[in-house]
C-alpha cells in the first residue's frame, strides 16, 4: 500500500515537471534601438520604447510607447513559459498596420523581434526591467 502511494506521488510530480510557468513580466520595461530614419547606420538615431505590461496567467495586456509613436494598447497578448507575443495596431503613412512583437524572457531582459504586416521584419531590441 505504501509503495502505491510513493509511486503515485512520483508519477504525479513527473506529470507536472517542466510545466512550471515563466516569470511574471508585469511592470515597466525599457528598450533602446537604432531607428531607420538615417540613411547610414552610423547616422541613425537611438529610439526608446517603454513597455507597460500587466500579466494575468498567460494573458498579457498593457501599452507600448516609443520615441516616434504615441502610446498604443497591446492586443492579442500572450505569455507562454518564457515566450511573449502581442500585437499593436499602428498608423504608417496614413494606413493602419499590424505590428507583431515576439520575444523571449531571459532573466530581467526580454529579447524582442518585431514585424510589420506588409513590410516584413522590423527591429530587434532588448527590453530591460525598470520597475
Query: What confidence score (pLDDT) does residue 15 get?
Result: 41
Query: What confidence score (pLDDT) does residue 93 get?
Result: 75
The secondary structure of 22-81 as a DSSP string is -----EEEEEEEE-S-SSSGGGPPEEEEEEEEEEETTEEEEEEEESSS--EE-EEEEEET
Q: What is the share, in percent, of the chain residues with pLDDT greater than 90? A: 49
Task: Give the residue extent of every domain in the chain.
Answer: 22-129
Q: Residue 119: CB partners within 8 Å, gap ≥ 6? A: 92, 97
Q: What is the share, in percent, of the chain residues with pLDDT greater than 70? A: 71
Encode pLDDT of 68-106 as tens digits.
778 999 999 999 999 999 999 987 678 888 999 999 999
Q: Residue 49: CB partners within 8 Å, gap ≥ 6? A: 30, 31, 32, 33, 64, 65, 66, 67, 125, 127
Query: What confidence score (pLDDT) does residue 43 get?
Result: 52
Q: Residue 63: CB partners within 8 Å, gap ≥ 6? A: 51, 52, 71, 72, 73, 74
Encode pLDDT of 15-40 as tens digits.
443 334 567 999 999 998 766 555 54
Query: What confidence score (pLDDT) does residue 80 get?
Result: 96
CATH architecture for residues 22-129: Beta Barrel (2.40)
CA dihedral 13→22→113→43, nearest 10 degrees, is -140
Alpha-carbon gap, residue 30 to 52, rounded angstroms: 9
Query: What confidence score (pLDDT) does residue 86 get?
Result: 97
pTM of the model: 0.73
46-56 and 59-66 beta bridge pairing: antiparallel
Amino acid at each position: 500500500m505504501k509503495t502505491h502511494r510513493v509511486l503515485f506521488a512520483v508519477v504525479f510530480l513527473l506529470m507536472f515537471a517542466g510545466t512550471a510557468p515563466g516569470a511574471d513580466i508585469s511592470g515597466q520595461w525599457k528598450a533602446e534601438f537604432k531607428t531607420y530614419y538615417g540613411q547610414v547606420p552610423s547616422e541613425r538615431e537611438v529610439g526608446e520604447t517603454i513597455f507597460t505590461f500587466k500579466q494575468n496567467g498567460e494573458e498579457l495586456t498593457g501599452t507600448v510607447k516609443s520615441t516616434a509613436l504615441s502610446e498604443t494598447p497591446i492586443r492579442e497578448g500572450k505569455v507562454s513559459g518564457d515566450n511573449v507575443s502581442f500585437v499593436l495596431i499602428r498608423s504608417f503613412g496614413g494606413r493602419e498596420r499590424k505590428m507583431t512583437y515576439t520575444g523571449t524572457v531571459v532573466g530581467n531582459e526580454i529579447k524582442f523581434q518585431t514585424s510589420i504586416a506588409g513590410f516584413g521584419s522590423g527591429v530587434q531590441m532588448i527590453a530591460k526591467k525598470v520597475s
